[in-house]
Amino acid sequence: MAFIQALIDGIMIGGVYAMISIGLTLVFGIMGIVNFAHAEFLMLGMFIAYYAWAWLGLDPLLAAPLSFVIVFGLGCVLQRLLFRRILRAPEISQIFLTVGLLIVLENMALWMFGSNYRSVTTPYQTSSLSLGPIFINVPYLFAFLMSAVCGTALWLFLRLSWFGRAMRATAQDPMASTLMGINADRMHMLAFGLGVGLTAFGGAVILPYLTASPTVGGQFVILMFTVVVLGGLGSVAGAVVGGLAVGVIQSLSALAFPIQLQNLVLFVVFIAVLVVRPQGLLGDVR
């Protein structure tokens, strides 16, 4: 029974990992940029949800769309001002820009919000559902469901909408898509805004069980890259598979090893997978 409990916990945590990592792989898949500052947008989403709770009384789950909209707009501005200029630049320029943006965003957050940890109080924060011997943590369940709904909406957007098809066409061949009348610059801006907005959405839904701080992105940046590389960098479906795999591995490893060693097991599996499939589990699927 402990195995089933750990499996369910891992799936719920993994669903959130997938949610916050999809944006990273979306930006790489369409723009070809590895954004080392991506986790800072999760931090911004958490703070927006926190202040929506503190000033307006909004539950963080209800404030998640607000986090998405604000960070989506910020992402579009950053893409136009910064990222558009380095699309064809050497990779070293992209690395320095994204690492520099990471430092700027983190220090601006320290200046604006201070270094204190901030948490919210919700009616369901310590609740759990009982299904016989299985217990489901309600904040984890809500975060998983919100992530599933948002991920499904993204999938429908990419598959069924004109903008989604145009973004996929731009990712496959920017020159051909331009000849077909698609504005590649606009698709890049939309992709970057969507990518960071989705991560901010994920930051808001995890706020009921995590604390917000200017350095919280550092807790997730390695996990995000592990998820997208394990699933296949540039593959949205791979990010979902990678997120679920990371969550389940972490949860199941806690059954046999001390909690401090859960990431050791994760990275042993991660290295083993990359030895067999360097392109990741779904590296060829977009």
Q: State both tokens at 101.
A: 């943006």
First to last CA, the chain: 36
* Gap between the Cα atoms of 160 and 158, Å rounded: 6
Q: State both tokens at 26.
A: 């979306």
- Residue 22 has a pLDDT of 87
Does this model's pTM top 0.85? My answer is yes
- Residue 37 has a pLDDT of 93
Residues whose CB is less than 8 angstroms from the CB of residue 278 and which lie 6 or more positions away in sequence, other chains included: none
- Residue 284 has a pLDDT of 64
- Residue 216 has a pLDDT of 92
Give CA separation, 246 vs 5, 37, 242, 275, in Å: 16, 21, 6, 17
- Residue 174 has a pLDDT of 80
How many whole angstroms from its chain centre is CA 238?
A: 13
> Phi/psi at 26 (nearest 5 deg)?
-65, -45
Per-residue pLDDT of the chain (286 residues; tens, 9 = 90+): 788 888 998 999 998 898 888 888 888 888 888 889 999 999 999 999 999 999 999 999 999 999 999 999 999 999 999 988 888 788 888 889 999 999 999 999 999 998 889 999 999 888 888 888 888 889 999 999 988 898 889 889 988 999 989 988 888 888 888 888 888 889 999 999 999 999 999 999 999 999 999 999 888 888 888 898 888 877 888 888 889 999 999 888 888 887 777 788 888 888 888 888 888 888 664 4
**Secondary structure (3-state) at 173:** coil
- Residue 145 has a pLDDT of 92
Residues whose CB is less than 8 angstroms from the CB of residue 170 and which lie 6 or more positions away in sequence, other chains included: 30, 177, 182, 184, 187, 188, 191
Are 154 and 198 in contact, with CB atoms under 8 Å apart?
yes
* Cβ atoms within 10 Å of 240's Cβ, excluding its own: 25
Q: Which of 286, 61, 74, 283 is nearest to 194 (CA)?
A: 74
